Amino acid sequence: MKKCFAVLVVCLVLAACVLPAAAANGQVTYQKGAEKFIFLPGSEYSPTDLFPNFKDVMPGDSIQQKILVKNDAANNCKVKVYMRALGAHEDSAAFLSQLDLTVAKGTDTVMFDAPADQTAQLTDWVCLGTLYSGGECELIVTLDVPVTLDNRFMDLVGYLDWEFAVEELPVEPEDPRPPQTGDESQILLWAIVLAVSLTMIIVLLFSRKKKEKE
């Protein structure tokens, strides 16, 4: 009984430690089976919102948001991932034009550095990289709110759209092999082909013997 209680406490502590950290990240996940992206965590404003940290911002704030882009397809799926910005919604442009947004791939490569309502360097598709099954890359988005932002911009909501695309590529022999996490081969199909082939071979052998006897 004591052991059960101890395990329960440990689980609760772990959950408390892990959940807030997970919730603070945005996530873009490509799911092959569904042929679609899953955007997390979403918010009360948009189910595909990737900016949980950019809520209730105040003048002078400089806030970071990590976004993980993942290829969640099962084994042997190689994709090229792209993104582009579509800009702010019309009624959000005045507010978002006051804020500066930076998007960097990892800690080095800055892909976007402009007012948040703009499409700037992300007007055209930009490749984030090639991801194998289970692979991921990280975007670091930084929002700078000028200290001069005045009361006209208090308590506002700004919407901006991003698009992500994947292009599925054939896995080449020289590609690194991802760890096997399951068997996806169509066993039934191979079994049928094998059975038909074996049957035909047996029929052939049998008929040859019969002919030899004759």
Contact range with other proteins by CB under 8 A, out of 8-16, 48-56, 129-137, 176-184 = 48-56
* Upstream peptide bond of 41 is cis (omega within 30 degrees of 0): yes
| Closest distance of CB 202 from other proteins, Å | 11
| Closest distance of CB 179 from other proteins, Å | 20
Instruction: Report 192-211 residues binding other proteins (CB under 8 A).
Output: 193-194, 196-197, 200-201, 204, 207-208, 211
Tokens standing for 178?
A: 């991802």
Q: Based on CB atoms, which residue is closest to other proteins, 4 or 147?
A: 147
Could you give the CA distance from residue 67 to residue 48 in angstroms, rounded to a whole number?
Answer: 13
The single-letter code of the amino acid at 100 is D
Instruction: Report 4-23 residues binding other proteins (CB under 8 A).
Output: none
Q: Which residues pair with 85 in a beta bridge?
A: 162
- Other CB atoms within a 10 A radius of the CB of residue 108 amount to 7
Q: Which of 14, 169, 177, 191 binds other proteins (CB under 8 A)?
A: 169
Q: Which of 161, 175, 184, 191 binds other proteins (CB under 8 A)?
A: 161
Q: Which of 8, 86, 110, 191 binds other proteins (CB under 8 A)?
A: 86
Q: DSSP characters for 177-211?
A: PPPP-S--S-HHHHHHHHHHHHHHHHHHHHHHHHH
155 binding other proteins? (CB under 8 A): yes
- Other CB atoms within a 10 A radius of the CB of residue 156 amount to 13
CA 76-137-160 angle, to 5 degrees, is 120
Contact range with other proteins by CB under 8 A, out of 13-21, 37-45, 104-112, 130-138 = 37-45
95 closest CA partner among 42, 152, 140: 152
Tokens standing for 157?
A: 């909501």
| Closest distance of CB 28 from other proteins, Å | 7
132 closest CA partner among 212, 203, 190, 72: 72
Could you give the CA distance from residue 40 to residue 23 in angstroms, rounded to a whole number?
Answer: 9
Q: Based on CB atoms, which residue is closest to other proteins, 6 or 202?
A: 202
54 binding other proteins? (CB under 8 A): yes
Q: Which residues pair with 112 in a beta bridge?
A: 103
What residues line the site for other proteins (CB under 8 A)?
28, 30, 35-37, 39, 43, 45-46, 48-51, 54-61, 86, 95-96, 99, 116, 143, 145, 147, 149, 151, 153-171, 189-190, 193-194, 196-197, 200-201, 204, 207-208, 211
